[in-house]
Amino acid sequence: MDGNGRWAEQKGEHRVVGHANGVRSVREALVAATEIGVRYLTLYAFSTENWKRPRPEVEALMDLLVNTVVGELDELNNNGVRLNAIGDIDSLPKSCRDTLEQAILDTAKNDRITITLALSYSARWEIVEMARTLATKARSEGLDPSTINDAMVAEHLATKGMPDPELLIRTSGEQRISNFLLWQIAYAELWFTPVLWPDFRKEHLFRAILDFQSRQRRFGLIGEQITPA
């Protein structure tokens, strides 16, 4: 969800105004995804590196998160949306953590779509955690290192139980991944748009999905193996 700061600065506003306007885009993306049957939507809301931003911006983002989750809870429940979070959740302020944990419990039975917020998340953090866990299991629980495979790694990532993303969208014209789901996006289709996140609307999501549908995903095979003549 990139471009909030630039969106605000272009309007002569504080960066935080951009984040606040980004909430509407979150809602639009979620409604659009739900309408067309997307089962998982994962939003990169706060990276491990974002902690280094000026303190007032970090605090404003945490407040926004709490207020948004509290304010949208009924709407999530009314629409079958399950809330989930990945990242170093223990590093979030207590009010944030408590709100999040309660909302996750309150929406746990919903099954139309799962919205996952990546908070204090980075893929390298997640991979280091996975390596530590497997190393500990090898040392203390008799895990045989030769049995470690793709599936076992995936089971020890924050996204355990979730399918890999099929489509990754990045807004604001930047064409990089910035430490997001590095393992999981091995075969994801990437879609970049110059639109700044607060301007992101349903039609942008639909455009991304239409583009996705026109691509041939080969997963390392050749075209004929995917669509035999």
Residues with Cβ within 8 Å of residue 117, at least 6 apart in sequence: 43, 45, 65, 83, 84, 85, 86, 87, 100
User: Which one of 23, 38, 195, 205 is in contact with ligand FPP (CB under 6 A)?
Assistant: 23
Touching ligand FPP, residues 27-46 (CB under 6 A): 43, 45-46
Contact between 96 and ligand FPP by CB under 6 A: the answer reads: no
User: Which one of 19, 82, 170, 204 is in contact with ligand FPP (CB under 6 A)?
Assistant: 19
Q: Provide the CA 88 distance to its chain's centre, in angstroms.
A: 13
User: Which one of 17, 22, 32, 62 is in contact with ligand FPP (CB under 6 A)?
Assistant: 22
CA 40, 62, 31, 170: dihedral to nearest 10 degrees? -60
Neighbours of 10 (CB within 10 A): 11
Taking the C-alpha atoms of residue 42 and residue 163, their distance in angstroms, rounded to an integer, is 11
Contact between 1 and ligand FPP by CB under 6 A: the answer reads: yes
- Which of 65/162 has CB closer to ligand FPP? 65
Touching ligand FPP, residues 148-207 (CB under 6 A): 172, 197
Q: Which two tokens stand for residue 198?
A: 């607060």
Stretch that binds ligand FPP, among 15-23, 29-37, 120-128, 179-187 (CB under 6 A): 15-23
Q: Which residues bind ligand FPP (CB under 6 A)?
A: 1-6, 19, 22-23, 26, 43, 45-46, 50, 61, 64-65, 68-69, 117, 172, 197
